[in-house]
Amino acid sequence: MDINERIARFEALIADEPDNDMALFSLAGAYAQAGRGEDAAKTYVQCTEVNPAMSKAYQLGGRAMIDSGQTEAAKDLLTRGFLSATDKGDLMPAKAMGEMLTEIGAPVPATKAEASGGDGSGAGDMTCSVTGKPGSRLPRPPFRGELGAWMVEHVTRQTWDDWLGLGTKIINELRLDLSRDEHEVVYDYAMRRYLRLSDEQYAELTGAPAPQPGADFKHTVDMVLERMGQLESFQGDLHKQV
């Protein structure tokens, strides 16, 4: 599927589900890949409005704005994103946004920890069951029912944001179309593996067996996760393995 077809698919999905933050994030990435910087920036902003906790959307939205000449808008978005990310302890996106603010001659705001004389460690209010690191709670369940409740209790905002970034890479590398059930199963399998949610836990939480992708997709997703998304050696041809 070429980039324009992928854009059309995501646009159709968002028309049906306008509050789907992952679809908005993926559409923005597709716009950026197609060289449509202004559309990418606008869609990343929509994503932050739907999910203000998605630090990566602020970061990539700011980059798209800078690259498309929207410097003043970038200052506002990156400032808000920097403060949100540092408040949550999302150190890598915060660092990237601080560097972009400096790049465009805008001040990097003081964090709450700096303003109060704290150490800025971002200890957070829970420990992530996936990474074992301290972080902040998700502001709302990403799914309905018991599965969403499990996420809130076990997965920090930082880990969820990291998954969204990797999940987007998986969508792009494998050319997944999330409007197709079989491709949604691939994406969900990757998410469960990344979050270390076993098939048994999934079945207990949802009351349904965990859907499984085909063997080729499963093998490829497992390889992606083993490499933690570092797939440069495939030069964009990973989709040919499935």
Residue 117 is predicted with a pLDDT of: 46
**69 backbone dihedrals φ, ψ, rounded to 5°:** 80, 15
Residue 121 is predicted with a pLDDT of: 42
pTM comes to 0.56
Residue 132 is predicted with a pLDDT of: 86
Same domain, 145 and 233: yes
Domain-ending residue, one of 121, 137, 160: 121
Which residue has 């998986």 as its token pair? 170
Same domain, 18 and 114: yes
Residue 227 is predicted with a pLDDT of: 65
Provide the number of structural domains found in the chain.
2
Domain at 239, CATH number: 1.10.3880.10
Domain of 24 in residue numbering reads as: 1-121
| Contact criterion met (CB below 8 Å) for 242 and 220 | yes
Q: For 144-149, which contacts have Cβ atoms below 8 Å and span 24 or more sequence positions?
A: 145/205, 145/206, 146/205, 146/206, 147/202, 147/205, 147/206
88: left (phi over 0), alpha (psi -120 to 50) or beta: alpha
Residue 230 is predicted with a pLDDT of: 42
For the chain, list residues with pLDDT below 50.
115-123, 229-242
Residue 106 is predicted with a pLDDT of: 94
Same domain, 188 and 212: yes
Same domain, 130 and 235: yes
